[in-house]
Amino acid sequence: MTDAIERLVNLALFFADARGTVTAEQARAQVAGYSVGQDESAFIRMFERDKDDLRKAGLTILADDEGNYRLDRAATFSTPIELDAGETAAIRTVAAALADDASFPYATDLRLALAKVTAQIDAPGVHATSRLADESPERQGADVATLSAAAATGKRVSFGYTNTAGVSAPHEIEPYGLFLHDGRWYLVGRDTGKDQVRTYTVSRMRSVSTNSAAPKTPDFARPDDFDVARFVRLPFQFGASARSFEAVVRFDPPAMWRAHILCAGQGVLTPDGQGALWTVEAHSDAALLRFVLENGPGLSVVSPPELAQALRTGLGAVEVLHG
Amino acid sequence: MAKATTSERARRLIALMGHLTKDSSYRVADLATSLGATPAELAADLEALSMCGANDLDPYSLVPVMIENGTVEVFGHMPALSGPVRLSSAEATALAAALQAAGFTANDPLVAKILSAASAGFDAEELEHTVRAAVSSHEHSVFGILADAAQSHTVIEIDYTGTGAPSATTRRVEPAALFAERGAWYVTAWCHRSGSWRTFRIDRIREARVTGETFDPSVHGEPGPISAFDVTGLPLATLRFLAEEPFVEREWPGARLAEGPDVGTTIVEVPYGGTGWIARRVVARLGRVEVLGPAELREAVKALAHQELSSATAT
């Protein structure tokens, strides 16, 4: 008796070997694993599931209205990718690290992707590890996998959520996107109860579930102009937007090489002699000053002037405290 | 390792078939490692593969593989599925997200090259707008050089600026492992300058250069725990947190409360590997955290505050 894995590979080979179009009946007759005596509706269900599985494997199987199928060879096969040693090493290192990271939600697909793009599939293992999320990594990884699938298919999700004030409440969200920041995953989506787009910390969620009704029909459409990057913040950009202000931070020449790393795409960096001025939105005085000092030397506050003064006053206080 | 579903096992074999070439042999254990399977599981699947063919009635269409003594022998050309199959949408998403996590942006040539192998259903722009898995930004050429050096056992030279250091130091290092931890990538390497295993934060490496010199990875033994936050054997600093600066354990790895809250303050013992790191963190709290000991750390904090104040006053 042919087992399911053989049937799937047989069907893939059958489609790939066919010169023209084929029918479900031909597959039933020629592919080991299907039975001619099988109940018609059971066969059709099995055949549909098998085609879905092969599409997940990367095969592009086209169908016409008459029930004829063919493998689109150009869409199914790629030319081998030429990678140099550094590129190959980078991909293998990243994949080795993340494939075993419980908080990375795409581990299985990552391994399969690596197997397809690397030339030497039996190369020795790479010493690399990862812990993208440090708080409950398994739970965050599993929840992000659920949320990511729901976002991709446009399905609503529900979960219990405990906010920073310790208040728990159920939420129903239309998930738009996900981002990782400082060891935590975050979800951005529209809260249907509040009719607002908000950011939620995944580690604060409980019992994440996807709307199971009409699984192949989206519940919502993500706004065309949505970009999750707009929700990724630096540490001093969290908090009430009502307290938002514009700050200017100077990078001295020796610190310039790190400027684009530290700015992380936020604000505007303008050349200023050998250094640069960084104009950026901030929501917290204390967090901005902490950022400037922790990433120094070579960073200083230019404006607002009262913040520059607060920095000098605070540094004076440290000197007195430790004097 | 979670047991793979039938669908995943079939996908593994289809991915694998693109690599199997006539008259080659492969160790099942090596293939299993790459594919995330156990050797026994993959061996069973390869046995199943040897029974597969395009036509049930044609024994010559069977996949020409044989498994013997932990090795797969390929004695003929792969039938039909012989070329590299494109990445499915989910696989392309996984790979692009993984590269994002290593600092490779959508505009990077490597990402573009990889995604040229994605199937038509994959939308790179949509992924860019909906998933951000970036751990931290760094020079991606540095990442590639470090990864290659760790695999090819090549000594490299790095320009490294440690936390709080005013300028870079140049070091020759033997990279052993790369790892991502809580918002940053690191490399653990044998440092010729210090004569010890060291962990370097990759976004603080300005440049990495290949020297052409190779190293024997067995000479210096194992590097120990691969972690940026391993606090074993580190000295402890005693810090007092004032009421307006709540102690957040996550911000001070390995810290523990030394005494209960005392008149609105919290006393904490914090392990530290370098004075520069902890002094800068204390100074950044602008008087809301005080070093109670050791005395040399108090001095370091005072000196750093003075230096930063001089700099801020001159600005």
Residue B259, pLDDT score: 73
Burial class (CB in 10 A: 0-12, 13-18, 19+), B6: middle
Q: Answer for the pair A161, A205: CB distance below 8 angstroms, yes or no.
A: yes
Coil vs helix vs strand at B148 = helix
Å from B258 to nearest chain A CA?
20
CA atoms of B175 and B150, how far apart (whole Å) = 5
CA atoms of A7 and A306, how far apart (whole Å) = 72
pLDDT in tens, A1-35: 568 999 999 999 999 999 889 999 999 998 989 88
Binning pLDDT at 50, 70 and 90, where does residue B315 land?
Answer: low
pTM: 0.86
pLDDT in tens, A119-174: 676 677 678 999 899 889 999 999 999 999 999 999 999 999 998 888 999 999 99
Q: Residue B79 pLDDT > 70, yes or no?
A: yes
How far the first Cα of chain B sits from its last, in Å, is 56
Instruction: Find the farthest-apart pair of alpha carbons in chain A and give their distance in angstroms, rounded.
Output: 91
Quote the ipTM score.
0.87
Only one residue has tokens 């399969």, namely A112
Residue B261, pLDDT score: 58
Q: B287, A258: Cβ pair inside 8 Å?
A: no
Q: Does A304 touch chain B (CB under 8 A)?
A: no
Portion of chain A with pLDDT greater than 70, in percent: 97
State which CATH number among 1.20.120, 1.10.3470, 2.60.40, 2.30.30 fits the domain covering B140-214.
2.30.30
Compute and round to an integer the Cα radius of gyration of chain B: 26
Only one residue has tokens 């990442």, namely B143
Q: Does A114 touch chain B (CB under 8 A)?
A: yes
The number of residues in chain A equals: 323
Residue B138, pLDDT score: 64
User: Across all residues in chain B, what is the average pLDDT?
Assistant: 89
Q: Which of A86, A129, A294 sits opposite B281 (nearest CB)?
A: A294
CA atoms of A196 and A199, how far apart (whole Å) = 10
Compute and round to an integer the Cα radius of gyration of chain A: 27
Query: In terms of CA atoms, which chain B residue is nearest residue A261?
Result: B137
Chain B residues whose beta carbon lies within 8 Å of the beta carbon of residue A311: 286, 312
CA atoms of A135 and A102, how far apart (whole Å) = 11
B179 compared with B250, residue with greater pLDDT: B179
Q: Residue A98 pLDDT > 90, yes or no?
A: yes
User: How far is C-alpha B231 from the geometric centre of its chain's CA atoms?
Assistant: 19
The tokens for B206 are: 């300005």
Binning pLDDT at 50, 70 and 90, where does residue B135 land?
Answer: low
How does DSSP assign B39-106, residue by residue?
HHHHHHHHHHHTT-BS-TT-GGGB--EEEETTEEEE-SPPPS--SPBPBPHHHHHHHHHHHHHTT--T
Angle at B304 between CA A314 and CA A274, to 5 degrees: 95
Q: What is the mean pLDDT of residues B50-69?
A: 86
Angle at B55 between CA B54 and CA B58, to 5 degrees: 120
pLDDT in tens, B33-56: 888 899 999 999 999 999 998 876
Q: What is the mean pLDDT of residues A266-295?
A: 95
A-to-B residue pairs, Cβ atoms closer than 8 angstroms: 398
Consecutive H or E run containing A307: helix A305-321
Q: Which of B93, B178, B285 sits opposite A128 (nearest CB)?
A: B178
- Extract the runs of DSSP E, i.e. beta strands, from A156-256: 157-162, 168-181, 184-191, 196-201, 205-210, 245-251
Å from B215 to nearest chain A CA?
16
Q: Residue A321 pLDDT > 60, yes or no?
A: yes
Q: What is the mean pLDDT of residues A35-59?
A: 91
Tell me which residue of A128, A125, A126, A114 sits closest to A83, measured CA to CA: A114
Chain B residues whose beta carbon lies within 8 Å of the beta carbon of residue A138: none
Residue B308, pLDDT score: 95
pLDDT in tens, B282-305: 999 999 999 999 999 999 999 999
Sign of the alpha-carbon dihedral angle for A132, A264, B277, B146? positive
Catalogue all structural domains in chain A, each as residue range(s) with its CATH number: 4-76 (1.10.10), 83-132 (no CATH), 137-230 (2.30.30), 236-321 (3.30.70)
Domain ranges of chain B: 6-74, 89-130, 140-214, 236-314
Consecutive H or E run containing A312: helix A305-321
Q: What is the mean pLDDT of residues B164-171?
A: 88
User: Across all residues in chain A, what is the average pLDDT?
Assistant: 92
Q: Which of B13, B98, B119 sits opposite A94 (nearest CB)?
A: B98
Binning pLDDT at 50, 70 and 90, where does residue A312 land?
Answer: very high
Residue A213, pLDDT score: 95
Residue A1, pLDDT score: 56
Q: Does A323 touch chain B (CB under 8 A)?
A: yes
Q: What is the mean pLDDT of residues B8-21?
A: 90
Q: Residue B260 pLDDT > 70, yes or no?
A: no
CA atoms of A213 and B220, how far apart (whole Å) = 59
Q: Residue B140 pLDDT > 90, yes or no?
A: no
How many Cβ atoms from other residues are within 10 Å of residue A254's Cβ?
15
Q: A104, B101: Cβ pair inside 8 Å?
A: yes
Q: A13, B81: Cβ pair inside 8 Å?
A: yes
- Most confidently predicted of A102-116, A235-249, B56-70, B216-230: A102-116
CB-based contacts of A104, cutoff 8 Å, min separation 6: A98, A110, A130, A132, A141, B97, B98, B101, B133
Å from A35 to nearest chain B CA?
12
- Extract the runs of DSSP E, i.e. beta strands, from A182-225: 184-191, 196-201, 205-210
Identity of residue A57:
A
Q: Answer for the pair B283, A293: CB distance below 8 angstroms, yes or no.
A: yes
Å from B151 to nearest chain A CA?
7
Residue B184, pLDDT score: 86
Q: Does A298 touch chain B (CB under 8 A)?
A: yes
Q: Which of B102, B138, B182 sits opposite A182 (nearest CB)?
A: B182
- Most confidently predicted of A113-122, B113-122, B261-270: B113-122
Q: Residue A284 pLDDT > 90, yes or no?
A: yes
Coil vs helix vs strand at A192 = coil
The tokens for B234 are: 């580190």
pLDDT in tens, A178-213: 999 888 999 999 999 999 999 999 999 999 999 999
